[in-house]
Amino acid sequence: MKKLFFIIILSINCYFINNTIVLSGVLSVTSGEAEKEYKKAYFAGGCFWCMEESFDKVKGVIKSISGYSGGHVKNPTYKQVVYEKTGHVEAIEITYDPNLTSYKKLLNVFWENIDPFDVAGQFCDKGESYRSVAFYRNRIQKNYIEKTAKDIERKFKDKKVVTLIWEFEKFYPAEDYHQNYYQNNFLRYLAYKSGCQREERLNK
């Protein structure tokens, strides 16, 4: 009798549907199911904390990672990038679902959250590591960047866009304490962002 009762309970709580196990209402997908094909994009817009916040709000963005790109030093540290001649800029790696957003959309978000006319850096952060850069991975992306840069120049009466256009080569994630900084250190982040007057400059 006990054995029969155990079989009935097990049958109710655990059953198989098309190689997917449903256990006590929790869906567990087997390894045989194919993963979604996500894509990646890379941008540099000064402080990578601020860039993370800007892109994380976009529907279709799966995650963003702060890091470094564009330079010649392998596995650089924050101090190296900021204080030494590594060639790197503070950048972010964006993983996105192409069914929900596109590179064009992400590029527009990039332009809307930087100052494309600042050759010295971005907002209160100055220096080579804070230059704005749009990275491309193929000719189509490069063409998008070049076209939209010209559109911005026309919109702002032929003011020169100095944002760099670089071919993407390698991305190095930043130290753990930089990841999700705007969420994990919310008050400090707000103080920094306010002090830099980032929003005020973007509104102008």
Q: Which residues contact 50 (CB under 8 A, 6 or more apart)?
A: 113, 182, 193, 198
Pairwise CA distance, residues 72 & 38, whole Å: 27
Structure tokens at 43: 């941008």
Which residue's entry shows tokens 């924050």? Answer: 78
Pairwise CA distance, residues 141 & 135, whole Å: 8
Among 14, 47, 124, 196, the one annotated catalytic: 47
Which residue's entry shows tokens 């006319």? Answer: 117
List, in sequence order, every beta strand (DSSP E) within 58-183. 61-69, 89-96, 121-122, 125-126, 132-136, 164-167, 171-173
**Catalytic-residue membership of 47:** yes
Residues belonging to the active site = 47
